[in-house]
A and B are shown apart, each in its own frame.
Chain A
Amino acid sequence: MSRGATTVGAEGSALLKWVSTLSLLVVVAIPCLFIVLQAVFPEIGGGSFSAPFSALYKTLADASLVGLAGNTILLGLGTVVFAVMFAFPLAALRALFRVPGALIWDGLLLIPFMIPPYIAALGWIMTLQPRGYLEQLTGLNLAPVLFSVPGIMIVMGLNTFSVVYFVLSRTFETVGARYADVGRVFGANQWRSFWRITFPLATPGLAASLLLVFAMAIEEYGTPAALGRRIGFEVLVTGIENRVAEWPVDLPGAATLSMVLVVMALAAFMLQRWLLERRDYRIVGGKPQAFEKRPLGLLSVPTVILFGFVSFLATGLPILAILATALSQTISGGLTLSNMGLQNFQELLATGSDGLRALGNSLTLGVSTALLAGVLGAITAYAVVKGRGRFRIVLDALSITPNALPGVVVAVGIILAWNQPWLPITPYNTPMILLLAYCCILLPQPVRYATAALHQLGDNLEAAARVSGAGPLRAFFRITFPLILPSMITAMILVFAVASRELVASLLVAPIGFQTIAVFIWQQFDQGSMGLGMAMAFCAILVTTLIPLALISVLRWLSKDSVASLN
């Protein structure tokens, strides 16, 4: 099991390599190129190459940059710590024991993906601020906890820990199935076999999900903007957003700060890569697996309480706050029965309303993005993990870059690239531009998930297919793709959830007159209709949660539990 052994025996079809390269060029490289051009040539928006580098030096020499960068790293690491604290015990319990109501917990823990982070932050503010819902109900005022740097980290940790939970519990399950049992046969006790065998073998999944959380945290806008601004805690993304969203706009400055952010994400990515390449993590061979989870016994009650507590914080509290606001006729009326009513929902769901159209638009875009980014991500990860040659690292780096690009900057890059007057046809000002933007922003998710899954896939299966006469394409689609499908479905659900509620890029590149869920919510907030906005948020969360759950149920029923990781 030497270094680099993963490439031996796998070929990586040349066709897949080219599909992946071309798509990444169009979806990721072109907008990125224009962001770099914008940073270097401040007048590029007007088609001029004058005054190169003038804005770049000004932004990089700005004394506040160090503070912004420091806060960004602090926030990223803090969020990762809290996400692991929430996810690790739950994932281990879920994977190795028979947790009562396991599927219900999984469903509940899926919901934080579906809650737009800025909505969750607003929910927390409405609940915890002085005279907020918590004080109205219990007299307790926890505002000082919320409006603090650790408070921001906890809220962001609660928004993101499900990523770690789902990856870890699945990986623990797969590993626990065979290797930990071997350890126990040789006399290790349960804890020892977990810490010495299961945990180390789960490293790829853990590293991949931690990188995702770190990247999500440094790229996240809504929570730091809603909470951080109140205490003067500015990060790179809020600095970038300020430069784009506040007149006079400073696009070159925003582009430059984004490049700093990309460098950070790439550094985290190199670290993850280095960790993965030190060992061999292949755990899925060709042999059938049978694994009996152990009963919890006396630990059942504390386990259920733990699951319940974390689910409540991550899912219950934000949803209840959203619902309370949506049902309130006025905010100042508070939580009294006479102030409650369904007016906001009636207005939202009236036939032919803007709200229904926005829902339809976002769901169509969400599904399209999930399919496109999912397939593209799987192909790219395959070309990177099982292919050969130097281009692999370029593809891999290109696929992670958007993870660190704030949505608003991707939007600027896309406008610059696709609104050039000499283009004969362009997707700009059509819904296609949103599909391009979402694919660009979300491609890293399926790539990360597929990469982690492929790292654990032995080459012998594909080699067997090739020996039996299948071509490289057929081997990929018949053998490799089905084996990584469970991971891909998780990734695609994540993509669907995020794409159907993406705000910052949508606000800027949405075709004229075209509304999505997030744009609709934002416009309601903007004109002071907080209740109507929250009613839309609630319906959107409901729909984006029920669709993936229905999909998973159908798949489970079709596969009759043969796809282990879907449960």
Chain B
Amino acid sequence: MRRLTLAVLMGLMATTAHADVTVYSAGPKALIKKLADGFTKATGTDVNVFQATTGKVMARLEAEASNPVADVVVSASWGTATDFAARGLLLSYDSPNAKNVPDFLKIDGAVAQGVAGLAIAWNPTSGTPKPAEWTDLAKPEYKDLVTLPDAAASGATYTLIEAFVANGRGDDLKAIADNGAIVAGANKAALNPVLQGAKAAVFGAVDYITMAAAAKGETVEVIFPESGTVVAPRPIMILKSSQNQDDAKAFIDYVLSEEGQRHVASVHLMPSRTDIEVDRPLIGDLKLLSNDGAPSRDEVLAQFAETFK
């Protein structure tokens, strides 16, 4: 019986395709699928994809460190790119297609594939007035009706909390917490109660996820507060350990090509190239909060946990 099982599974092993570029990707599956298919069509090179959360991608990279498998990594957290660059894990590559990507979306070894913005997600059928500002969510109308993603689980929300702390707006966070806001896991776990109407608004919702839900017919709106917000660039990088650097470079070129950036826009992310026109607010349209002078990650997370305990 065991031998038969083994034989069956050996057969399964034989059918596993060996592709040319191996990409570990966080973020929307639809996007990486379009990019992989488009790249294969354009170059004839196959792409094998491992898709998970940023954390799971990083955990797998860490566990594989003695024998790396991935060529290209796409993450949803810019901090992973600066960390990998500092540890000397990244291959320096300046794609010709990156010349229209603004400088703050590039470092040596990584470039933004696309950018997500942070916003308020609000359910218009919730019976609450439409919020315009972050601080509106501290008003009595929103008592016990606000969720927010855990800053430890969502890199994007972390960036927002960090900016609040850096700009001395810790009291605003406290007021929202005192108004009964609950921390509800990662981004989707914070949005779902708002869709069903259990809650009215998400503080620090990732915009493209909310826009995708709205495009599907969910009654939910994205509101960018005028006092400013933050963006979360999504780095794409080539590992220095890659055995297939030429194809990996070609993949980055494709992602930053006009066609690749259209795929990025199709999942409601902002393209990182400024010369691609899309029907949604872009980085230039948003007022950005500065993160200068923010304390260390541990301190920000400790303050977050203390505020929302």
Q: Which positions in A face B, CB cutoff 8 Å?
A: 45-47, 125-126, 129-132, 143, 225-226, 229-230, 232, 242, 244-249, 251, 329-334, 364, 368, 371-372, 375, 408, 412, 415-416, 419-421, 427, 429-432, 435, 507-508, 510-514, 523, 525-530
Contact = CB atoms under 8 A, between A and B. Distances in A.
A502 to B, nearest CB: 15
Contacts, number: 176
B213 interface: yes
30 contacts: A45-B66, A125-B193, A129-B198, A132-B198, A143-B198, A226-B185, A226-B189, A229-B183, A232-B183, A242-B153, A249-B59, A331-B196, A331-B218, A332-B219, A333-B217, A364-B12, A371-B2, A375-B1, A412-B59, A415-B64, A429-B69, A430-B13, A431-B16, A435-B9, A508-B60, A510-B50, A513-B48, A513-B50, A527-B29, A529-B216
Interface in B71-90: 75, 77, 79-80, 83
Given A131-B197, A332-B220, A412-B59, A528 B213 contact: yes
Given A246-B55, A371-B5, A513-B49, A251 B63 contact: yes
Given A47-B66, A225-B185, A513-B49, A131 B196 contact: yes
Given A249-B58, A330-B216, A332-B196, A432 B188 contact: no
B1 A332 contact: no
Nearest to A241: B55
B232 to A, nearest CB: 12
B182 interface: yes
A247 B79 contact: yes
A329 B28 CA distance: 20
A364 B12 CA distance: 10
Contacts of B63: 45, 251, 412, 415-416, 419, 508
Contacts of B185: 225-226, 229-230
A327 B80 CA distance: 39
A242 B152 CA distance: 8
Contacts of B217: 329-330, 333
Interface string B133-171: 000000000000000001011010000000000000000
B29 A512 contact: no
Contacts of B209: 528
A63 B181 CA distance: 26
Given A129-B196, A375-B2, A528-B188, A244 B12 contact: no
B65 A131 contact: no
Nearest to B126: A131
Given A131-B197, A249-B55, A330-B218, 20 more contacts: A130-B198, A229-B184, A244-B56, A251-B59, A331-B192, A332-B125, A332-B197, A364-B12, A375-B2, A412-B59, A415-B60, A421-B66, A427-B13, A430-B12, A507-B52, A508-B56, A511-B16, A512-B22, A512-B49, A526-B188
Interface string B227-258: 00000000000000000000000000000000
Interface in B200-228: 209, 212-213, 216-220
B8 A364 contact: yes
Interface string B16-38: 11010010000011100000000
Most buried by B among A225, A245, A371, A508: A245
Interface of B: 1-2, 5, 8-9, 12-13, 16-17, 19, 22, 28-30, 48-56, 58-60, 62-67, 69, 75, 77, 79-80, 83, 123, 125, 150, 152-153, 155, 182-185, 188-189, 191-193, 195-199, 209, 212-213, 216-220, 297, 309
B60 to A, nearest CB: 6
Interface centre among A249, A432, A523 (most CB of B within 10 A): A249
B2 A245 contact: no
A514 B16 contact: yes
Given A126-B196, A371-B1, A513-B49, A420 B67 contact: yes
A419 B219 contact: no
Given A247-B155, A415-B60, A513-B50, A332 B218 contact: yes
A508 B66 contact: no
B247 to A, nearest CB: 15
Contacts of A421: 66-67
Nearest to B194: A332
Contacts of A507: 52, 56
A332 B195 contact: yes
Contacts of A527: 28-30, 212
B29 A47 contact: no
A143 B28 CA distance: 31
Q: Which are the 5 A-B pairs with shortest beta-carbon distances?
A: A131-B197, A47-B66, A245-B55, A415-B63, A331-B195
B48 A512 contact: yes
B110 to A, nearest CB: 14
B104 to A, nearest CB: 21
A553 B23 CA distance: 46
A117 B49 CA distance: 27
B309 to A, nearest CB: 6
Nearest to B24: A512
B65 A47 contact: yes
A429 B51 CA distance: 14
Contacts of B191: 528
Contacts of B75: 247
Given A229-B185, A368-B9, A513-B49, A247 B198 contact: no
Nearest to B147: A230
A508 B52 CA distance: 8
A386 to B, nearest CB: 21
Given A230-B184, A527-B29, A244 B59 contact: yes
Contacts of B219: 330, 332-333
Q: Which of B16, B77, B219 has the most CB of A within 10 A?
A: B16
Contact of A251 (B30, B62, B297): B62
A523 B2 contact: no
